[in-house]
Amino acid sequence: MTEVLLRARAGTDGRPASIDAYRAVGGYAGLARALKDLKSDELIEIVKQSGLRGRGGAGFPSGMKWSFVPRGEKWDGGPKYLLCNADEMEPGTFKDRVLFEQNPHALIEGMVLAAYGMEMTEGFVFVRREYFRQTDDFEKALIEARQAGMLGQNILGSRFSFDIHVHRSGGRYICGEETALINAFEGKRANPRSKPPFPATKGLWGRPTTVHNVETLACVPGIAANGAEWFKNLAATPEGAGTKLYGGSGALEAPKCIERPIGTTLRALIDEMGGVRGGKQLLAVIPGGASTPFIPADQIDVPMDYAALEKIGSRLGTGTFIVFSEDDCPVHGTLNMQRFFARESCGFCTPCRDGLPYGVEILERFEQGRATMADIDLLDQLYAFIGPNSFCALAGGAAEPIKGLIRHFRPLLEEHVTSKGCPFARSREAVHA
C-alpha cells in the first residue's frame, strides 16, 4: 500500500512524526530539490502536469490556481500570502486533523514549496480552535522546521525566505469559504467577499493570496521530489492523480481515516473499514461530507474520484464519506444536515439565511408526519432556487443532499407522508438504545 501523505506517522507517545522521522522517509527532499534545481515556473509546471486537484471540496486544479498569482514582472514586489485552510468543519470530515496528528511536516514542506512556486512571502495556517492539541503540536513542528532551516530566513541556504504563522479561529463553518476565511483572518466578520476581485490578485489585506486545503498542500512535497508522472501513477484509475485521505464515519463497523490511491472504489473503502455496522445492509452513502449528494447502495462500486462521482450525479467533496445502514433514515439525516447549514449560515444573503430555515421546517414536517405530497415538490423547488442563487457555495452545498434525497429516495419521502412520520423512528431508537 502506497502511503505518501502519511508516510511518516505519529509515534507510540501519540505525538506526530518529528522532523527527523519525516526526513528519514524522504521528507524535505522535494524542497531540497526544488530550491536547488527548479525555478518557480518549473515547479508550477510540474504541479500542473501532476494533475493535483484541490482536496478541500471544490477540486480546482492546483497548478492553475498557482499560475493566477502575479509573479515576475507582474508582481509589484509587495507581500503575497499563502493561506492554509485548516478550518475543517464539513460534517463527516476529519482527514486534515489526521494529517496534523500524524505528519505535520508534510504540510509545512508543502507550504514552503507552494510559497516557492508562487514566490510568496508569508504563510498562515487558519485552523479551527477545536483542534487544540493538534495546533499546539503543529506549532512545535514549525519550531523544529525553523531550527532545521526549512523555514525562516534563507531556507536550506537558498535566497528564499518564508515563514508560517498560525491563526486560530473562533469556530464557524463559513470560515472554510476562502474569501470568508480571509475576512475572518483579518479580524472581521467572516462573510464571503464578492469575486472578482479574486484572492489571487486581491486577497488577505488586499494582497495576492492563495488559499489551499491542508491535504492539497501536503501532496506537493511528493510531486516536487518525484515528479508529475510519479504522482499521476499513484492513482487507482488512469484519469486520477495521487493518493487521497479517505475518511469513513456513520454506520461503519470500524470508522477511520486511511490513505489510498485516488479512485479506490467506495466498496473497497467500506470493506476496509469493517463493513456496515452490525452486519446490517447498506442503504446509502454521502461520499464527501454533508455538501455532496447521496449515493444509493447499488452504486458503491464507483471509484472515489472527481469525475467518476460526478458521472453518477454526486461529488467527491472532501472524500470523507458517511454511511447510512438500513436502520438509518436519509430524510432524518438530511434534516440533520440542513439544520447544520441553516445554523452555520453567515446571514449575508437571503436564500441561505432565510431559505435554509424554511427547508428545515419542511423536512421537519416529514419527520413529524405533517407533510403532504406537495411538500416534496416544494422542497425540490425551494432548493432549486436556493442552491444556484446564493452568494457563496454554502447554500449550494446544502442543496446537494436534497438533490440526492429526492432523486434516490422519493418513495421514502412519500412513505413519510403516507405513514405520517418516519418509518425508521423505531429502528433508530433500537440501534441507539
Partner 1 sequence: MPEIVFDGKKVTVPAGTNLVEAGGAAGTSVPVFCYHKDLGAVGACRVCAVSIKQNDKTRMAMACMTEAQDGMDVTTLDPQSRQMRKWVTEWLMVNHPHDCPICDEGGECQLQDLTIATEHSIRRTELKKRTFENQYLGEFITHEMNRCITCYRCQRFYQDYAGGRDFGVTGSRDRVYFGRFEPGAFESAFSGNLVEMCPTGVFTDKLFRYKSRVWDLEISPSICPHCSVGCNILPGARHRMLQRVRARENEAVNGVFLCDRGQFGHGYIMDPARPRDLRMSDGTTDWDAALGVTGGALLEIARAHGGESVALITSTRASVETHFALEALASGALAGARISHFEDADREASALASLSALATAGAQPLEQSDLAGCDVLVIAGTSLVDEAPLAALAARQCARRGGRVFVVSPLERYLGDVATVIPTHPAAVAGTLEALASGTGDGAVAAAGKALMGAQKPGLLLGGDLLDGPALAAGAALARSLVRSHGSSGKPVRFGTLFPGPNGFGAAAMSKDAALAGILADLEAGKFKAAVVVESDAAAWSPRARQALGNLPLLIVLDYLPGILADTAQCFFPTEATYESNGIYVNRAGRAQGFAQVRVPGRSVIEEIRDDSFRRSYQRTPNEGGARMAWWILDALRKRTVGSPEVRDLAGIRDALAAARPAWAPLRAVLAGDEGTVLDPAAFQPATATTPAFERGDGLRVFRMDRTLGSEVLSRRSEPMRKMAGTPVALVSPGDAARLKLGGRVSLDAGGSAVELECRAEAGVPDGVVLVPRDVEWPILPKQGASVRVTAALAEAAR
Partner 2 sequence: MTELKILGPDQKALKREKIVDVLWALQKQRGHLDDEAIRLAAVECDLTPQEVDEVATFYNLLLRRPAGRRQIYVCDSISCDLCGCGKLIAELQSQLGIRMGEVTADGEFGLLPIVCLGHCEMAPCLMANEKIHGPLKTDADSVRTMIQRIRDDRSTAQG
Closest contact distance (angstroms) between CB of 120 and partner 2 is 11
Interacting positions 298-357 with partner 1 (CB under 8 A): 342-351, 353-355, 357
Q: Shortest gap between Cβ of 336 and partner 1 (angstroms)?
A: 16
Q: In what order do the strands lie in the sheet with 81-86?
A: 163-168, 122-127, 81-86, 209-213
Question: In what side-by-side order are the strands of the sheet with 320-325?
Answer: 256-261, 243-250, 320-325, 282-286, 295-296
Residue 369 to residue 332: CA distance in whole angstroms:
12
Burial pattern 27-60, b for ≥16 Cβ within 10 A else e, equals: bbbbbbbbbeebebeebbbbbbbbbbbbbbbebe
In this structure, what is the dihedral angle of CA atoms 292, 289, 51, 230, given to the nearest 10 degrees?
A: -140
How do beta strands 295-296 and 243-250 pair?
unpaired
Q: Given the rule CB under 8 A, which of 42-50, 76-84, 114-122, 384-392 is the region that contacts partner 1?
A: 384-392
Rounded to the nearest whole angstrom, what is the least distance from the CB of residue 411 to partner 1 in the complex? 24
| Amino acid at the residue 77 | G
Question: Which stretches within 16-164 are classed as H helix?
Answer: 19-24, 29-37, 40-50, 62-67, 95-102, 104-118, 132-147
Least distance to partner 1, CB of residue 381, Å: 8
Kindly tell me which of 68 and 348 has the beta carbon lying closer to partner 1. 348
Kindly tell me which residue out of 11, 78, 197, 388 binds partner 2, with binding defined by CB under 8 A.
78
Output the smallest distance, CB 432 to partner 2, in A.
Answer: 3
For partner 2, give the closer residue by CB, 231 or 246: 246
Site mask for partner 1 (CB under 8 A), range 177-196, x = bound: ------------x----x--
Which of 189, 195, 410, 426 contacts partner 2 by CB under 8 A? 189
384 versus 431: smaller Cβ distance to partner 1: 384
Closest distance of CB 197 from partner 1, Å:
13
55 or 232: CB nearest partner 2:
55
Residue number, 162 or 383, with CB nearest to partner 1:
383
Which of 172, 207, 256, 428 touches partner 1 by CB under 8 A? Answer: 172
H helix count then E strand count, the chain:
17, 9
129 touches partner 2 (CB under 8 A): yes
Of 88, 109, 119, 178, the one binding partner 2 by CB under 8 A: 88
Buried b / exposed e along 140-166 (16+ C-beta atoms within 10 A): ebbebbbebebbeeebbeeebebbbeb
Q: Which one of 84, 89, 108, 125 is in contact with partner 2 (CB under 8 A)?
A: 89
Place of cell 498562515: 124
Residue choice 274, 358, 414, 415 for contact with partner 1 (CB under 8 A):
358
Stretch that binds partner 2, among 5-13, 184-192, 309-317, 410-418 (CB under 8 A): 184-192
Among 26, 70, 79, 274, binds partner 2 (CB under 8 A): 79
The answer to whether the Cα torsion of 239, 242, 243, 249 is positive or negative is: negative
Determine the Cα–Cα distance for residues 258 and 95; give it in Å rounded to an integer. Answer: 8
Distances (CA, A) of 275 to 251, 271, 281: 9, 5, 9
Question: Which has the closest alpha carbon to 334: 91, 3, 119?
Answer: 91
Strands 209-213 and 81-86: parallel
Q: Output the smallest distance, CB 50 to partner 2, in A.
A: 27
Q: Which of residues 35-54 bind partner 2 (CB under 8 A)?
A: none
Residue 140 interacts, among partner 2, partner 1, none and using kind-specific CB cut-offs from 5 to 8 Å, with none
> What minimum distance in Å lies between the beta carbon of 136 and partner 1?
28
Contact assessment for residue 332 and residue 295, using Cβ atoms and an 8 Å cutoff: no
Residues at the site binding partner 1, with contacts judged by CB under 8 A: 172, 189, 194, 342-351, 353-355, 357-358, 361-362, 365, 378, 382, 385, 388-391
